[in-house]
Amino acid sequence: TRTAACTALLAAINLYGAKSVDSGLGQVNIGWNGHRFSSPCESLDPYKNLDATSDILIEQRDALYASAPGRPVDWIQVAGRYHRPAGGAPAAKYRRTVSRHLSQVLGVNLLVTNP
């Protein structure tokens, strides 16, 4: 039930800390993006969670391309920033994971262009 999910989410936040807990379909990090919801449990609403997810992706796209308007958007790069806006090894690992999964779905090797 939604009540049980909310209870489990709050317990995870108390046990591990908000920055260690991702919630909902978009796996929105509660510590960094909890301000997007009226409460942590609201992040379990699929519509509100995906609204927050799309807002984060748009913000990261805009930040990535602020210095290069008109340049084609590399959504794999944006996905890396979604996972870790500061970049570095965690973002690179996430980009590779997204590329691998998307390559399987599309039948195209995206890892060549997204190392």
pLDDT at 114 > cutoff 70: no
Any idea how long the chain is? Answer: 115
Note whether 19 and 29 are within 8 A (CB).
yes
User: Does one domain contain both 31 and 61?
Assistant: yes
Note whether 78 and 61 are within 8 A (CB).
yes
pTM: 0.87
For 17-64, write each residue's pLDDT tens digit: 999 999 999 999 999 999 999 999 999 999 999 999 999 999 999 998
| Percentage with pLDDT > 90 across the chain | 79
User: Does one domain contain both 22 and 65?
Assistant: yes
Residue 100 domain boundaries:
74-114
User: Does one domain contain both 52 and 65?
Assistant: yes
User: Does one domain contain both 20 and 56?
Assistant: yes
**H/E element, 29:** strand 28-29
Which tokens belong to 87? 């970049």
